[in-house]
């Protein structure tokens, strides 16, 4: 399994229009493969829409994208309100449960950690040891590491009911001696985005 994460920077003030067009086109696109999730940014880089597509492998992705492009209703006409688009391919961490439609929270925090080159197997092992302890406080929505795109990164996504719950859970988790995973020696950079599920997102 791989996950394609497509990020769109949208003209300010046009995120609602962009999501509306995506939602209208989704029934046609879903005939080819299911959407994993879709969010827009609330904190972090603003005016971004992020959607996630699971595939069995790169060949299935290539085939589905070719077949869906034959539908004249796809992709939706969003070009005039897009500023920038980029795509990344991620592998699921060994401990990640597959994405499935479910309600996990009203907000999601996407944390991206960049690590030193050459240590990903050890990093994933340490994450795998730590995740059960962190999930005592709240569930992990997704955890990926990069296959194509900006490399040596781990992306982990956590759902919360609201910002107050996020603060309480993070404070409690940081008191756990097993969290965070012991990867500080390899860390280069840490980033965070707060995401709101789109109205049509299967993960909400």
Alpha-carbon span 41 to 82, nearest angstrom? 15
pLDDT band at residue 133 using 50, 70 and 90 as cut-offs: very high
pLDDT recorded at residue 116:
98
Cβ(87)–Cβ(5) under 8 Å?
yes
CA dihedral 99, 100, 105, 108 (to 10 degrees): 20
Which pLDDT belongs to residue 42?
Answer: 98
Q: Which residues contact 74 (CB under 8 A, 6 or more apart)?
A: 25, 28, 29, 68
> If you average pLDDT over every residue of the chain, what do you get?
97
With beta carbons less than 8 A apart as the criterion, state whether 25 and 75 touch. Answer: yes
Task: Report CA-CA distances (Å) from 13 to 46, 47, 83, 141, 158.
Answer: 10, 8, 12, 28, 27
pTM beyond 0.75: the answer is yes
In order of start, what are the domains of the chain with their CATH numbers? 2-197 (3.30.70.100)
Mean pLDDT to the nearest integer, 63-86: 96
pLDDT of residue 1: 96
């Amino acid at each position: 399994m791989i996950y394609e994460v497509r990020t769109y920077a949208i003209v300010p003030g046009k995120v609602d229009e962009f999501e509306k067009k995506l939602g209208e086109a989704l029934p046609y696109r879903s005939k080819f493969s299911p959407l994993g999730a879709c969010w827009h940014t609330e904190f972090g880089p603003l005016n971004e829409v992020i959607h996630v597509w699971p595939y069995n492998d790169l060949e299935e992705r290539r085939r589905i994208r070719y077949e869906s492009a034959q539908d004249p209703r796809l992709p939706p006409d969003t070009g005039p309100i897009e500023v920038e688009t980029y795509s990344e391919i991620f592998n699921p961490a060994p401990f990640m449960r597959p994405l499935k439609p479910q309600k996990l929270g009203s907000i999601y925090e996407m944390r991206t950690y960049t690590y030193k080159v050459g240590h990903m197997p050890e990093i994933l092992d340490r994450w795998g040891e730590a995740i059960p302890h962190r999930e005592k406080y709240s569930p992990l929505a997704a955890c990926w590491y990069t296959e194509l795109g900006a490399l040596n990164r781990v992306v982990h996504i956590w759902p919360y009911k609201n910002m107050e719950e996020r603060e309480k859970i993070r404070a409690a988790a940081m008191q756990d001696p097993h969290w965070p995973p012991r990867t500080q020696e390899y860390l280069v950079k840490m980033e965070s985005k707060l995401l709101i599920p789109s109205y049509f997102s299967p993960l909400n």
